[in-house]
Amino acid sequence: MADRAKGAGSTWSPPGKDTGSAWSPPGKDTGSTRSPPEKMGGAAFTPNASADAGIPQEFVTYSAEKTIAKGREIAANLRAPVIVMLTGELGSGKTTLTKGIISGLGAAREEEVTSPTFTLVHLFHSNVIANSRQSPQPCTIYHVDLYRVESFIDLESLGLEDALSEQAIVIVEWPDRFTFRTDWPRVDIRLEHAGDDSRRIVIAGLSSEDR
Protein backbone atom coordinates (compact mmCIF):
# COMPACT_ATOMS: atom_id res chain seq x y z
CA MET A 1 0.00 0.00 0.00
CA ALA A 2 1.23 3.44 -0.86
CA ASP A 3 2.89 5.28 2.02
CA ARG A 4 0.97 8.55 1.91
CA ALA A 5 -0.05 11.11 4.49
CA LYS A 6 -3.39 10.07 5.96
CA GLY A 7 -6.58 12.09 5.96
CA ALA A 8 -7.57 14.01 9.04
CA GLY A 9 -7.76 11.42 11.77
CA SER A 10 -8.68 8.54 9.47
CA THR A 11 -6.65 5.34 9.46
CA TRP A 12 -7.07 1.64 8.83
CA SER A 13 -6.03 -0.74 11.58
CA PRO A 14 -6.70 -4.32 12.66
CA PRO A 15 -9.04 -4.93 15.58
CA GLY A 16 -7.34 -4.62 18.93
CA LYS A 17 -5.05 -1.85 17.65
CA ASP A 18 -7.57 0.95 17.41
CA THR A 19 -5.95 4.31 16.76
CA GLY A 20 -9.22 6.13 17.23
CA SER A 21 -10.32 5.99 13.61
CA ALA A 22 -10.35 2.66 11.82
CA TRP A 23 -11.93 0.12 9.58
CA SER A 24 -11.95 -3.25 11.29
CA PRO A 25 -14.03 -6.38 10.93
CA PRO A 26 -16.57 -7.12 13.64
CA GLY A 27 -15.14 -9.47 16.28
CA LYS A 28 -11.48 -10.23 16.79
CA ASP A 29 -10.89 -12.50 13.79
CA THR A 30 -9.19 -10.61 10.97
CA GLY A 31 -10.26 -13.37 8.64
CA SER A 32 -13.90 -13.29 9.65
CA THR A 33 -16.37 -13.69 6.83
CA ARG A 34 -19.43 -11.56 6.20
CA SER A 35 -22.75 -12.29 7.80
CA PRO A 36 -25.48 -13.67 5.55
CA PRO A 37 -27.13 -10.89 3.53
CA GLU A 38 -30.49 -11.44 5.21
CA LYS A 39 -28.93 -10.50 8.56
CA MET A 40 -27.26 -7.33 7.35
CA GLY A 41 -30.35 -5.19 7.04
CA GLY A 42 -30.52 -4.25 10.71
CA ALA A 43 -26.90 -3.22 11.19
CA ALA A 44 -26.50 -0.16 13.39
CA PHE A 45 -24.15 2.74 12.77
CA THR A 46 -21.94 4.53 15.26
CA PRO A 47 -23.02 8.20 15.24
CA ASN A 48 -20.46 10.63 13.84
CA ALA A 49 -19.89 13.29 16.47
CA SER A 50 -18.35 15.69 13.92
CA ALA A 51 -21.41 15.72 11.66
CA ASP A 52 -24.63 17.59 12.26
CA ALA A 53 -26.82 14.56 11.72
CA GLY A 54 -30.01 16.30 12.77
CA ILE A 55 -33.20 14.29 12.53
CA PRO A 56 -33.12 11.47 9.96
CA GLN A 57 -35.37 12.18 7.01
CA GLU A 58 -37.47 9.49 5.33
CA PHE A 59 -38.58 9.46 1.71
CA VAL A 60 -40.37 6.97 -0.53
CA THR A 61 -39.59 6.77 -4.25
CA TYR A 62 -41.92 4.91 -6.60
CA SER A 63 -39.58 4.05 -9.48
CA ALA A 64 -35.90 3.63 -10.30
CA GLU A 65 -36.00 7.02 -12.01
CA LYS A 66 -37.28 8.68 -8.83
CA THR A 67 -34.57 6.94 -6.80
CA ILE A 68 -31.94 8.29 -9.19
CA ALA A 69 -33.49 11.75 -8.89
CA LYS A 70 -33.23 11.53 -5.09
CA GLY A 71 -29.55 10.68 -5.54
CA ARG A 72 -29.07 13.89 -7.52
CA GLU A 73 -30.69 15.86 -4.69
CA ILE A 74 -28.27 14.28 -2.23
CA ALA A 75 -25.31 15.09 -4.51
CA ALA A 76 -26.25 18.77 -4.51
CA ASN A 77 -25.57 18.88 -0.75
CA LEU A 78 -22.33 16.88 -0.60
CA ARG A 79 -19.08 18.69 0.13
CA ALA A 80 -15.68 17.00 0.02
CA PRO A 81 -14.37 15.36 2.09
CA VAL A 82 -17.33 13.18 3.02
CA ILE A 83 -18.10 9.49 3.31
CA VAL A 84 -21.53 8.20 2.29
CA MET A 85 -22.58 4.85 3.79
CA LEU A 86 -25.30 2.96 1.88
CA THR A 87 -27.00 0.03 3.61
CA GLY A 88 -29.86 -2.19 2.57
CA GLU A 89 -30.63 -5.70 1.41
CA LEU A 90 -29.70 -7.04 -2.01
CA GLY A 91 -31.70 -5.23 -4.69
CA SER A 92 -32.81 -2.43 -2.37
CA GLY A 93 -31.47 0.28 -4.71
CA LYS A 94 -28.03 1.19 -3.38
CA THR A 95 -26.40 1.27 -6.81
CA THR A 96 -29.45 2.95 -8.34
CA LEU A 97 -29.21 5.76 -5.78
CA THR A 98 -25.45 5.97 -6.45
CA LYS A 99 -26.16 6.50 -10.15
CA GLY A 100 -28.00 9.66 -9.15
CA ILE A 101 -25.31 10.80 -6.72
CA ILE A 102 -22.41 10.36 -9.14
CA SER A 103 -24.29 11.79 -12.13
CA GLY A 104 -25.45 14.65 -9.92
CA LEU A 105 -21.82 15.39 -9.08
CA GLY A 106 -21.12 15.64 -12.81
CA ALA A 107 -18.64 12.76 -12.68
CA ALA A 108 -20.37 10.34 -15.07
CA ARG A 109 -23.60 9.59 -16.88
CA GLU A 110 -26.10 7.36 -15.09
CA GLU A 111 -25.49 4.45 -17.46
CA GLU A 112 -21.75 4.62 -16.73
CA VAL A 113 -22.29 3.92 -13.03
CA THR A 114 -22.47 0.19 -12.29
CA SER A 115 -22.05 -1.90 -9.18
CA PRO A 116 -18.36 -2.52 -8.36
CA THR A 117 -19.26 -5.92 -6.89
CA PHE A 118 -16.38 -7.69 -8.64
CA THR A 119 -13.92 -4.82 -9.18
CA LEU A 120 -14.71 -3.57 -5.63
CA VAL A 121 -13.76 0.07 -6.33
CA HIS A 122 -14.73 2.41 -9.17
CA LEU A 123 -13.11 5.85 -9.47
CA PHE A 124 -14.66 8.96 -10.99
CA HIS A 125 -13.42 12.53 -11.22
CA SER A 126 -15.27 15.83 -11.13
CA ASN A 127 -15.11 19.37 -9.77
CA VAL A 128 -16.87 19.54 -6.40
CA ILE A 129 -17.15 22.23 -3.74
CA ALA A 130 -15.00 21.30 -0.73
CA ASN A 131 -15.86 22.23 2.85
CA SER A 132 -13.04 24.78 2.97
CA ARG A 133 -13.57 26.30 -0.49
CA GLN A 134 -16.30 28.36 -2.09
CA SER A 135 -15.58 27.35 -5.69
CA PRO A 136 -15.50 23.82 -7.19
CA GLN A 137 -12.18 21.99 -6.90
CA PRO A 138 -10.96 18.78 -8.57
CA CYS A 139 -12.29 15.83 -6.60
CA THR A 140 -12.09 12.05 -6.82
CA ILE A 141 -15.28 10.10 -6.16
CA TYR A 142 -14.75 6.54 -4.91
CA HIS A 143 -17.60 4.05 -5.36
CA VAL A 144 -16.80 1.07 -3.12
CA ASP A 145 -18.65 -2.24 -2.73
CA LEU A 146 -17.60 -4.36 0.27
CA TYR A 147 -20.04 -7.22 -0.38
CA ARG A 148 -17.30 -9.64 -1.46
CA VAL A 149 -14.62 -8.41 0.93
CA GLU A 150 -14.10 -11.29 3.35
CA SER A 151 -11.37 -10.10 5.72
CA PHE A 152 -9.41 -7.11 6.92
CA ILE A 153 -6.49 -8.22 4.71
CA ASP A 154 -8.79 -8.08 1.68
CA LEU A 155 -9.90 -4.61 2.75
CA GLU A 156 -6.33 -3.38 3.08
CA SER A 157 -5.57 -4.59 -0.45
CA LEU A 158 -8.08 -2.07 -1.84
CA GLY A 159 -5.77 0.80 -0.88
CA LEU A 160 -8.59 2.89 0.53
CA GLU A 161 -6.14 4.74 2.77
CA ASP A 162 -5.41 6.78 -0.34
CA ALA A 163 -9.03 7.93 -0.50
CA LEU A 164 -8.79 9.26 3.05
CA SER A 165 -5.67 11.27 2.29
CA GLU A 166 -7.36 13.63 -0.17
CA GLN A 167 -10.40 15.81 -0.65
CA ALA A 168 -12.61 12.96 -1.83
CA ILE A 169 -16.17 11.75 -1.75
CA VAL A 170 -16.28 8.08 -0.76
CA ILE A 171 -19.51 6.16 -1.38
CA VAL A 172 -19.57 2.74 0.30
CA GLU A 173 -22.09 -0.03 -0.35
CA TRP A 174 -22.32 -2.76 2.33
CA PRO A 175 -20.29 -0.76 4.91
CA ASP A 176 -21.63 -3.02 7.68
CA ARG A 177 -19.04 -5.61 6.67
CA PHE A 178 -16.54 -3.64 8.78
CA THR A 179 -16.56 -1.16 11.65
CA PHE A 180 -15.53 2.29 10.49
CA ARG A 181 -14.76 5.32 12.65
CA THR A 182 -13.49 8.59 11.28
CA ASP A 183 -13.75 12.30 11.93
CA TRP A 184 -14.74 12.87 8.31
CA PRO A 185 -18.28 14.18 7.78
CA ARG A 186 -20.52 11.17 7.25
CA VAL A 187 -23.89 10.59 5.64
CA ASP A 188 -25.76 7.37 6.47
CA ILE A 189 -28.42 6.22 4.01
CA ARG A 190 -30.61 3.16 4.45
CA LEU A 191 -32.69 1.78 1.59
CA GLU A 192 -35.57 -0.68 1.97
CA HIS A 193 -38.01 -2.37 -0.37
CA ALA A 194 -41.42 -0.72 -0.16
CA GLY A 195 -43.31 -2.83 -2.71
CA ASP A 196 -42.74 -3.28 -6.45
CA ASP A 197 -40.30 -0.56 -7.60
CA SER A 198 -40.86 1.60 -4.53
CA ARG A 199 -38.02 2.23 -2.10
CA ARG A 200 -37.99 3.72 1.38
CA ILE A 201 -34.89 5.92 1.86
CA VAL A 202 -33.79 7.14 5.29
CA ILE A 203 -31.03 9.77 5.31
CA ALA A 204 -29.01 10.95 8.31
CA GLY A 205 -25.98 13.20 8.32
CA LEU A 206 -27.00 15.99 5.94
CA SER A 207 -27.65 19.21 7.82
CA SER A 208 -31.33 20.09 8.03
CA GLU A 209 -30.80 23.35 6.18
CA ASP A 210 -29.42 21.45 3.17
CA ARG A 211 -32.29 19.00 2.76
Which helix (H) or strand (E) element contains residue 61?
Answer: strand 57-61
Per residue in 63-109, pLDDT (tens digit) is 999 999 999 999 999 989 999 999 999 999 999 999 999 999 999 99
Q: Considering the entire predicted model, what is its pTM?
A: 0.72
Residue-by-residue DSSP string for 69-132: HHHHHHHTT--BSEEEEEE-STTSSHHHHHHHHHHHTTSS-GGG----TTT-EEEEEEEEEBTT
Question: In DSSP terms, which residues pair with 143 in a beta bridge?
Answer: 122, 171
What type of residue sits at position 123?
A: L
The answer to whether the peptide bond before residue 81 is cis (omega within 30 degrees of 0) is yes
Task: Name the DSSP class of 5.
Answer: P
CATH of 57-210, one of 3.30.230.10, 3.30.1060.10, 3.40.640.10, 3.40.50.300: 3.40.50.300
- Tell me which residue of 184, 110, 102, 197 sits closest to 140, measured CA to CA: 102
50 or 93, which is more confident: 93
Q: Please answer whether residues 80 and 105 qualify as being in contact, where contact means their C-beta atoms are separated by less than 8 angstroms.
A: no
pLDDT, tens digit, 9 for 90 and up, residues 133-178: 667 888 899 999 998 887 777 777 777 777 778 889 999 999 988 7
CA distance 10 to 21: 5
Which residue ranges make up each domain of the chain?
Answer: 57-210
Residue 116 near residue 144, CB atoms below 8 Å: yes
